[in-house]
Structures are given as C-alpha cells and as structure tokens.
Structure 1
C-alpha cells in the first residue's frame, strides 16, 4: 500500500494579475518522500511552491496539505496545519538577531510536537552558534539561508518546502545545506525542494518532477531522470 499524499496539487492554474503562470499543474508528494521540483529560471517552480503555501492561490484546481484542502486558506492557516516554507529570498528579519529570528518562529507542531528548540538548532547548525547575537541583516547569504531553514524548523512542521536552497551560495555552504537536508530526510520528514541545480538534488531526492513554462513535463524517480537524456537536455541544461 502506497504512502498517503501529504502534498497534493491537482490541475492548478495560477495567475499574477492577467498573466497565467501555471497551467493545470499536478503534483503529489507522499509521506516521507523527498521530491525535487526541477526547472530552469522562470519555469514556474517558485509559483508552485507559493500556491502550496497559500501565497499564490490557484484560480482553478485544488491543493491539499496533510489531507486538508487548503486552496482558499490563508498562509498562516496552512502553516498551522504543519507546513514549513523557506522562500527563495529567505526573508529573515534583518534588524533582529539570529536568536531573535529563531525565537519569533518558535511554536509546537500541529500534533503538539516540540522537537526543535534553540539549543537543538545550534547543535544542528553550529555555524550559527557564534552568530547568535549578530543582526540577521549582517549575515552572509549562506548564513542567512541556514538561519531561514533553522527558523522554519522552530515551528516544528511536518512538511518542508525549500525554494532554491542552493541559489547563489558558495560550494562549501551548498555542501553543508545538502548534508543537513539528507539528515532531515533520514528522520522521515516530507520535503519538497524547488531547484534549478539538478546536481544538488541528485543525492538528496528520491523522486523528481520537472516543470517548464508552467506545465509538468516529467515525473519519475531520480534514477529515471538520470537515464532520460532528452528531458535533462531539453528542460534542465543551462
């Protein structure tokens, strides 16, 4: 018996004003799965993530998170269900310290889970420990990305959305973030990663969905994607 879907988008059309960005997108992520949503810049990855998180509500189709339909719900309602979202632009609070950013986000999960504390965050992200009193706006891009992921975890979510976690970062930071995502994956948490960088996802995800011009053009395992030269060259080659 297959695992239940914890993220399900069915036939969603998303518009920004009069411009249609997504065209009948179907996406499903099962419990405990790590799914890579891949595509070039402007393909519709971030809009798909925002539609799931409630920031870009679909005009048609529906979205479900953890079995609850969320198509018309506000983002904070979806977060309370158990969704954690790290946006592409990180959006840390620049005038607050690293520790304040963490404490602002601290809350138990929807089932009362309280696995992530400030102390555990510093154990998981030792790079942040000496920076705990530094203003977030004075961190490097890589430090801000780690803080954004850590802040999201402080809400003890059941489902994680990571939008372009490797974008613009030094290779050593990308490696550290990748290693941490692998650690999270091993705990059984469900993860959806939107990325241009296919190679970053190859060792992280079990499955892949490829989007191009707002439409899904491939679904399959990472092994199937590796074996499909046509899809990789047509939709993912830079």
Structure 2
C-alpha cells in the first residue's frame, strides 16, 4: 500500500450502545488506489465505512484525510472535506427523476474543483443518460446502484466509499458494476470498497484488508491475499 495515504483509519474503536463493534482497526488507502475491505457478514465492514463517514463516530482512534483528523466530525463536514459515501441500501430519491437525483448530489470539490458534471457523468454512465427523465424509484436494483454511485461522484469527493456494491444483484449487473469500478480506478478515483465477495474484488482492487469480528486479520496487496489460502479459508470461506 502507499506509504503516503490520502485516507488512514488509525486504531479506531466503535460501539453501538454498549456493544463494541470495532477493535483498533487500522486501514490506509493510497491516493488513486482501490482497496477492498473484505470479511463475512457482521465482520465490521459497514461499521468501518460508517465510522469514516461520521455516521458511527469512533470512541477512540483517528480518521485522517489528507493529514486532518476527521474523527468525531459531523457527517456533512466529512462529506464537504472530500469523503463520498455510497450506502449499502442505495437510498435514491424515488419520486425524483434520475437527473434530479444527480443534481441533488452536486457540489464543488475541495478548492472549488468540479471535475464531475452532468455531461461528464453521462459519458461515464451512458445507461443513466438514456433514462435521465425516469423516476428513480422505477429503476432496477442495478440501475439504482449506478445512480447512487453517480450521485455521490457529483459531489466531487476525493475518496469514494462503496458499501457492498454487488450485494443482491444479478451476475450480469455485478459484472457491469465491476467494469464501472475499473473505469473509475483508471481515472484516478480513490476507492475504499467494502465487500464479502473476494472474487468480485480480485480484478478491481490493488490492496486488501480482511476484517473479522471487528479486528483486522490481514492487510496487504490483493495478490498476496489471493495466495494466502489460510486467510481466505479461515475468514472468507473460500
């Protein structure tokens, strides 16, 4: 992984009420790289992303973006600082059109940068261009996933958090989501991807962290994980 990460999670502990969910989790995401956060259901993947996004603030530890500790900041402050979060359950605005959903998410990035515009979005997501006037609630699950990713990118984030983007989708849609992530990676987008499907991540991620019962049990290159049969057998049930 990069020795100079744009985003680092440093020894965070997270509680839901009296229950401790994360135990000293460490993650570092290099600029322009794609890191897969892998683990079984309930391992703590989604909680880690929520902690970064400010939705489950850590009780201890740091969440550092470009050298600034964001742990404990409000979610809107973290979003404005450059973290874009795509939740597991998509959360489109169902009564609004596709284009309205995109415009709702639009904002300039840090230092008033604005790479992602409607025109740029429709080039990268041609499927959305053809349904820009369609009500978002009428889209399929895969189309809604595409829309949610595009809406988040309209906020011009520096780091994109994707929570289980392949979950519950047909194989052909999963392949399309994978192709999209590869395209974003080739464009230099920094991505932290929470997934339980290692095979989905093999062709789209460069780095990997495996989490189990709220603790990191592996951190390294995705190829190292592919070759580590003990870790994949024990923690990913492969």
Instruction: Flag whether TM exceeds 0.5 (same fold).
Output: yes
1:34-77 alpha-carbon deviations (Å, 9 max, x no partner): 10000001100000000011110001111112221101211111
Q: Which residues in structure 2 correspond to 1:56-71 (within 5 Å)?
A: 56-71=56-71
Q: Which residues in structure 2 correspond to 1:69-80 (within 5 Å)?
A: 69-80=69-80
Equivalent residue, structure 2, for 1:192: 192
TM-score where L is the length of structure 2? 0.96
1:73-117 alpha-carbon deviations (Å, 9 max, x no partner): 111111111111101111111121111100111111112221111
Q: Unmatched 5+ residue regions in structure 2? A: none
CA distance in 2, matches of 1:122, 1:3: 35
Further displaced range: 94-103 or 112-121:
112-121
CA distance in 1, matches of 2:151, 2:96: 13
Equivalent residue, structure 2, for 1:13: 13
Q: Shift of the alpha carbon at 1:120?
A: 1.7
Q: Shift of the alpha carbon at 1:153?
A: 0.7
Count of residues in correspondence between the two structures:
237
Q: Shift of the alpha carbon at 1:130?
A: 2.4
Further displaced range: 145-154 or 106-115:
106-115
TM-score where L is the length of structure 1? 0.96
Q: Shift of the alpha carbon at 1:203?
A: 0.7
Q: Shift of the alpha carbon at 1:124?
A: 1.2
CA distance in 2, matches of 1:13, 1:193: 20
Secondary structure, counterpart of 2:112 in structure 1: coil
What is the CA RMSD across the aligned residues, in angstroms? 1.1
CA distance in 2, matches of 1:66, 1:165: 25
1:137 lines up with 2:162 in the alignment = no
CA distance in 1, matches of 2:35, 2:221: 9
CA distance in 2, matches of 1:61, 1:25: 9
Secondary structure, counterpart of 2:14 in structure 1: strand
Secondary structure, counterpart of 2:110 in structure 1: coil
Q: Which residues in structure 2 correspond to 1:1-238 (within 5 Å)?
A: 3-237=3-237
Q: Unmatched 5+ residue regions in structure 1? A: none
Runs of 4+ in 1 over 3 A off after TM superposition: none
CA distance in 1, matches of 2:136, 2:110: 28
